[in-house]
Structure 1
Amino acid sequence: MTERTALHDVLDAGIVCHLAYVAEDGTPRIVPTGYGHEGDTLYVHGSTGAASLRGGAGAEVCVNVTLLDGVIYSRAVFHHSVNYRSATIHGTATPVTDPDAKLHALHVITEHIAPGSWDHARGPSPQEFAKTAVLALDLTEAAVKIRTGGPGEEPEDLTPDRVGASWAGVLPLVRAWGTPQPCRHLPEDVGVPDYVSLRGPQHGPQ
């Protein structure tokens, strides 16, 4: 697997990223937000009044997506760790202002977070569209870190008198979608559509 493939795999599997930027007062800030990506472009969005969107526009930012896959237990606390997949992107966040490009970016984000929704939910009204800001970040400057496997061990902890002294191994973290919970305003005869009920490993992030 190439690093570029690994990068896209992590971004495909995540839903929330953390956007780090420098605020107007010079202090570093970080906020969670939904995202979407297409090709070599990552999109994040939010309110036009959000400090993160204002502070990140045209500035150097950093975006991270991390997925926890398990906790590693070792015979020595020094080697306790986690299995994870992580993607970090650095670059200049470019405001997406062209109406068609902005609408496309919102489509990408929506379909990443909630596949199938764009074709079934109402699109943004002119007022909603005007209140939404979108930033684009090129994926060229990106780093992927992945940790898999069992614990590291010191030779002295693998001797016959120590090897069974404490449990060692991996406690995997398994994520699964729950049963859809309808909105209280939804009529009782409206069933759960396939694009919601079938969301899972083959349809969306895990």
Structure 2
Amino acid sequence: MARALLFILMSTLFYKVNPLTCYQCIPETSVKCTETKVECAVGQCGTMKTTSYMDNNKLADMIMKNCSLTQQCVTASVNLGAIKAVISNQCCNTNLCNNQSEPDPPKNVLNGIMCYTCKGEDCTSTLACVDGEDHCIKATVDADGKMTKVRGCATKSFCKGDLSTQIGQSNVTKGLSCCRGNLCNRATIVRQYDLIQIGLLLFATVQASF
């Protein structure tokens, strides 16, 4: 009896977790891709939708599926006024559970927080934040070789954790920092052309973080 109990305990200690099977779909040169199946040693299955906007018009909309770590299972957004990028990542932990077409879209409900942003060369304008954008953001972005400061609204998930680290340490974005409180990100001057370049660069960086 004692030997049988010891065997059960040892078997439990050395129990090997079976890998999770997830759908994988990673677009390369277009917004569409073909789903395949992949085994994930750790983490969960994820479906991520990344949408970028320019002047309230949708610039790009991309959906990806893959293995996803727990800390990546967040909704994040950054709004620079003329440019906005939204990441919606929905995760699950059973085989092939990430078969949904896309996560739920953001609601765009005003949350009462205001941050500085830029319009043309005037960076004293204010921006109303929406949904989970509870931080004001400061960053310096390389736009065609010129380091330019930007301001706007962002979610806590964009400001902290792995996503912030990857973006802050990229060769595109430097000095990423966030603060809480209305108008806590003092403004500076940025040209409208720079804002367009910055939006495209931020969108590319966010895509690479998945």
Q: What interval of TM-score do these two structures reach, taking the shorter chain for normalisation?
A: under 0.3
TM-score by length of 2: 0.20
Higher share in strand: 2
Name which structure has the greater RCO, CA cutoff 8 Å, separation 6+: 1
TM-score w.r.t. the length of structure 1 is 0.21
